[in-house]
Amino acid sequence: MRIQIRLSAFLILMLTALAMHAEQQDPHSFSQPELMVVSHLALDLDVDFEQKALKGSVVLTLQRHDPTADTLVLDTRDLNIHAVETGMDGQWKEAEYELGQPAQGLGRPLSIKMPVDTTQVKIRYSSQPQASGLQWLAPAQTAGKKYPFLFSQSQAIHARSWVPLQDTPRVRFTYEAVVRTPAGLKAVMSAENDPQDQDGNYQFRMPQPIPSYLMAIAVGELRFQAMSERTAVYAEPSVLAAAAAEFEDTEAMMVATEKRFGPYQWGRYDLLILPPSFPFGGMENPRLSFITPTVIAGDKSLVSLIAHELAHSWSGNLVTNASWSDLWLNEGFTTYLEDRIVEDIYGERRAAMEGVLGYQSLVNDIETIALAADTRLAVNLSGRDPDDAFSSVPYEKGRWFLTWLEQCFGQQRFDAWLKGYFQRHAFRSIDTHGFLMDLREHLLEPNPGVVSIQQIRMWIEGEGLPEDHLVPKSSAFEPIDTARNGWLADELEAADIDTDQWSTQEWLYFLNNLPTDIGAGRLAELDKAFELTAAGNNEIAHSWLKLAIQNQYQPAFQRLEQYLVGIGRRKLIVPLYEELMKSESGTAFARRVYDQARPGYHPQAQSGIDVIVNG
């Protein structure tokens, strides 16, 4: 009887997940992979900094699923299509094609007549200066100030703005590329790179199949410095040594992850350090993660970002979310792995502190997210821009779900399941339904009675956090609470708080948990004792500047202006603009500074902040 009830509860859970799964079409792609898929892509591109354009051609090789289908539909956004030919055995023939109308922020479908015996299509095209997936930087925006810089950011649906392709994480392809650059500039891609090559004519090969959002390119005055046999940093010359020192533990992180979760499948793992306008902390482009320079703090205090991007080599790049509604399968798993790596390399104390900080950001987000349905693990994104529903929910709620499973089943059984999950789905895409099937077969059924289906349902379908979730604790934070409370109660002067041994995480915990309306006078006391307005650590500066805005603490506003103009990482600047817009004087300040900062921001940062500041 009991078993029957359980089974039917699981059935309902599966059916709910199936409802999302059933939408065969990725709502963010025009492509029809059920008819034919692109299995290989060959790019031939010139990088034109004057016209801010990538110009050249792409040859797509197809695998047909429906032998009668005669139209290939690709995703494009702001692309100039110059000519289209279809081919077979090296013979090319002009093809009929049509660029459809733009729809719902998805760009435009490119429909190409593909006679049923053709297997390849060659498209001559160029990108436009406003391509949402590219940022073209003037020399002044780089560290060296002498050469321009170009980088791509394809996740979630921006690859289509620089390559016409099936822009859905359900399709994987291998690729090769030839890229020509002006003198003095090196090109790198999310592929095999030749570190010595500097001749302006670069060749790339990506032998493992990847989804489109992992297509990546960057061009700049780049140098190479090895950190180990298989890890290195690419960066501008003046940044190279500091980056290689900051991230020297990358190899140890790889070894730790491989030991627990199976082999690293991508050959090398290098880091590319971008200029400060890079809109993310990091991006897991395979073989070559793209990294913001804002985490080079000098003390390795922000390197969990590297653990995170590296972990995507398993969760995301190897086993990929099938749609952007399933983003938690990429980011939740990765945040979980990140925590495990940090614990292995930097110890339990550091991992616990970062866990509490992440949990606090989740609780904050759950309180402030406008749509309660957006606090579910799998969000229905049909008709919405995947960038809009972005929050810490897929990251942190996903992570705490997995941590909860780990605690319920014990680390040994959980790790064995997770390692198996990566093996079973390697180089494939998976949705929430597929995850549940795997979890049931390989963890729940072999270990009956450990967790109830009702509990799993609460995690997958419920809003916010289930009541029985674990609230993470860090004993390292207890003295911080004591110090903060003592100072707030006037039992202690700021100068008497013993902060000598405080790490970045302790500072963040101290600042993030001050009352938001503490008042400018009390901030002045802290500033006098600890010079927080001059803090060089970008995360600490972010927390401090947020407090400064909330309390109109004027002495920090010059620093705030410099910070907002100098950094383009969305996570660090968006909350500051949002906070500024809550007051009249803040609004005026935000508009003035944004006018100055906007030209230096990435298109994906501009579009988000336009809505905040002028919407």
Residue ranges binding ligand BES (CB under 6 A)? 155-156, 280-284, 305, 308-309, 312, 331, 395, 571
Q: Report how far residue 363's alpha carbon sits from residue 391's, in angstroms, rounded to the nearest whole number.
A: 11
**Least distance between ligand BES and beta carbon 306 (Å):** 9
179: nearest Cα among 166, 168, 194, 164: 194
Residue nearest to ligand BES (CB): 281
Q: Which does 161 bind (CB under 5 to 8 A by kind): ligand BES, Zn ion, none?
A: none
Question: What distance in Å separates the CA atoms of residue 78 and residue 603, rounded to the nearest whole number?
Answer: 13
CB-based contact 142:149 (threshold 8 Å): yes
Residue 62, exposed/middle/buried by CB under 10 A (0-12, 13-18, 19+)?
A: buried
- Measured from the CB atom, the residue of 156 and 523 that comes closer to ligand BES is 156
Closest CB to ligand BES among residues 156, 274: 156
Distance CA 385, CA 410 (A): 38
| Complex with ligand BES: residue 308 or 433, whichever CB lies closer | 308
Residue 145 Cβ, how far from ligand BES at the closest point, in Å?
25
* The two structure tokens encoding residue 268: 């090398």
Residue 176 or 309: which CB sits closer to Zn ion?
Answer: 309
Q: Which is nearer to ligand BES, 270 or 331 (CB)?
A: 331
Beta-sheet strands, E only, within 344-493: 428-430
The site partner of 586 among ligand BES, Zn ion, none (C-beta below 5 to 8 Å per kind) is: none
* In the complex, least distance from residue 508 CB atom to Zn ion, rounded to whole angstroms: 19
In angstroms, give the least distance from the CB of 316 to Zn ion: 7
- Provide the minimum distance between the beta carbon of 400 and Zn ion in the complex, in angstroms, as a whole number: 16
CB of residue 181 to ligand BES, shortest distance in Å: 25
- 329 closest CA partner among 337, 338, 318, 321: 321
Q: Which is nearer to Zn ion, 106 or 283 (CB)?
A: 283
User: What CA dihedral angle connects 245, 197, 317 and 380, to 10 degrees?
Assistant: 100
Partner touching 155 among Zn ion, ligand BES, none, CB below 5 to 8 Å by kind: ligand BES
SS (H, E, C) 133-144: CEEEECHHHCCC
Give the separation between CA 288 and CA 470, rounded to whole angstroms: 35
The item of Zn ion, ligand BES, none sharing an interface with residue 400, based on CB under 5 to 8 Å by kind, is: none
| CB contact at 8 A, 375 and 389 | no
Comparing CB distances to ligand BES, the nearer of 118 and 606 is 606
Question: Which of these is catalytic: 395, 509, 594, 601?
Answer: 395
- Residue 258 CB, shortest distance to Zn ion, in Å, is 19
- Using CB distances below 5 to 8 A depending on partner kind, what does residue 176 bind out of ligand BES, Zn ion, none? none
Q: Which does 336 bind (CB under 5 to 8 A by kind): Zn ion, ligand BES, none?
A: none
283 binds, among ligand BES, Zn ion, none (CB under 5 to 8 A by kind): ligand BES
**456, 34 contact by CB (below 8 A):** no
Residue 421's Cβ-count burial label (10 Å; 0-12, 13-18, 19+) is buried
Minimum gap (Å) between residue 356 Cβ and ligand BES? 15
Residue 281 binds which entry of ligand BES, Zn ion, none, with Cβ cut-offs from 5 to 8 Å by kind?
Answer: ligand BES
Q: Which residues bind Zn ion (CB under 5 A)?
A: 331, 334
Q: Is 424 exposed, middle or buried (0-12, 13-18, 19+ CB in 10 A)?
A: middle
Partner interacting with residue 280 (select from ligand BES, Zn ion, none; CB below 5-8 Å by kind): ligand BES
Shorter beta-carbon distance to Zn ion: residue 335 or 533: 335
Catalytic residue among 236, 309, 396, 579: 309
Instruction: Give the amino acid at 359.
Output: Y
CA proximity to 444, closest of 483, 71, 435, 510: 435
To the query of whether residue 395 is one of the catalytic residues in this protein, the response is yes
Nearest to Zn ion of 312, 433 (CB atom): 312
Q: At what angle do helices 398-409 and 411-424 cross, to 10 degrees?
A: 120
272: its two tokens = 């590319």
C-alpha 395/C-alpha 362 separation (Å) is 9
**181 touches 47 (CB < 8 A):** yes
Q: Which does residue 305 bind out of Zn ion, ligand BES, none, counting CB within 5 to 8 angstroms by kind?
A: ligand BES
Report the residue number, 156 or 476, with the smaller CB distance to ligand BES: 156
Closest Cα to residue 289, out of 265, 273, 267? 273
Cα–Cα distance between 216 and 224 in angstroms, integer?
Answer: 18
Taking the complex as a whole, the smallest distance from the CB of residue 406 to ligand BES amounts, in Å, to 19
- Of 554, 545, 532, nearest in space to 575 by CA: 545
Nearest to 340 by CA among 395, 399, 270, 292: 399
Residue 474: CB atoms within 10 Å: 21
- The span from the CA of 596 to the CA of 590, in Å, is 10
Report strand pairing: 428-430 vs 319-321. parallel
- The helix (H) or strand (E) run that includes residue 268 is none
**In the bound complex, what is the minimum distance in angstroms from residue 312's beta carbon to Zn ion?**
6
* Catalytic positions: 309, 395
